[in-house]
């Protein structure tokens, strides 16, 4: 009558159920994080509109520090030796006021 019963205990299958629960928890946390992130503007860039904003910011920054910008031209003149360091810093301070550049660095 007990021919089908296993008297040796649960065997290796006892490890299977904690793995199943761990997988359920990982999937639940992952779905929850993705849902919350999309609500805050996260997720793929093509869904949130963030890609267009980032591309616009890059274009504006590139245009501002373009190779033909006055700050870049001043840096090239200083590198070529056409102006000395004092004149470079004096002109750069005027350009910083005019173009609103925040940091003091070398040639842009």
pLDDT of residue 31: 92
Neighbour-count burial of 91, counting CB atoms closer than 10 A to its CB (0-12 exposed, 13-18 middle, 19+ buried)? middle
Q: Are 51 and 59 in contact (CB under 8 A)?
A: no
Q: Residue 101 pLDDT more than 50? A: yes
Lowest mean pLDDT across 15-24, 69-78, 93-102: 93-102
Asked if residues 79 and 72 have their Cβ atoms less than 8 Å apart, the reply is no
Tell me the pTM. Answer: 0.33
Question: Does the structure show a pLDDT above 90 at 12?
Answer: no
3-state helix, strand, coil in the chain (%, to 5): 70, 0, 30
């Amino acid at each position: 009558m007990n021919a089908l019963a296993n008297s040796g205990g649960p065997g290796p299958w006892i490890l299977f159920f904690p793995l199943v629960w761990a997988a359920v928890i990982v999937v639940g946390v992952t779905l929850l994080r993705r849902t919350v992130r999309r609500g805050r503007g996260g997720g793929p860039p093509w869904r949130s509109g963030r890609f267009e904003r980032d591309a616009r910011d890059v274009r504006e920054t590139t245009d501002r520090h373009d190779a033909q910008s006055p700050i870049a031209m001043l840096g090239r003149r200083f590198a070529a030796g056409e102006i000395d360091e004092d004149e470079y810093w004096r002109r750069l301070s005027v350009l910083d006021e005019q173009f609103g550049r925040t940091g003091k660095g070398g040639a842009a």
